[in-house]
Amino acid sequence: MVKARVAVLLAGLLCVAAPRAPAQPISASPPPSAAAAGAAPAWKPIYENSQTIYYVGAADVPQTGQSDVETLMEFRIPQVVDGDQVWSIVSHMKLSCDQQRMITLDNTLYALRMGAGPVVESQPANDQWHQPEAGTLGALVWSAACGKK
């Protein structure tokens, strides 16, 4: 039951390949990073709306081969999943910059902002390698991580 609720939450809010919302990059100064609080990585904001802010890990990604990348979705108002408060979700992904492909490996829900605090739930993602569609959050993640620096 919990996994079904988490899957619905992620499908509606985190699916980086499917939403067709007008995904335009934001130009904001980086927020305090998790690294500043003793954890990693540093986060770069890539999109926001009235309910969430999306970030990508600010680490350098090689232009060839597969790379591990983390994304973070932070809620402006906490969500409740099976009675637990969730402020943020960190997704672990693999990107292939040269092949323009990505896959989400797992999602971890956290009780605090910026992927901090106790883990509420962690589960593998039900995803396959795919090319991000233009205008989606997946395309913004790919562009932020793999775009020409």
For domain 2-146, which CATH number applies: 3.40.50.1860, 2.40.128.710, 3.90.1150.10, 3.30.70.20?
2.40.128.710
Among 19-23, 58-62, 111-115, 134-138, the minimum mean pLDDT is found in 19-23
What mean pLDDT value characterizes the chain?
A: 79
Task: Give this prediction's pTM.
Answer: 0.74
Distances (CA, A) of 25 to 15, 63, 77: 17, 21, 21
Count, residues in the chain: 149
Q: Distance (Å, rounded) from C-alpha 73 to C-alpha 23?
A: 14
CB 142 within 8 A of CB 100: yes
Residue 143, φ and ψ in degrees, nearest 5: -65, -40
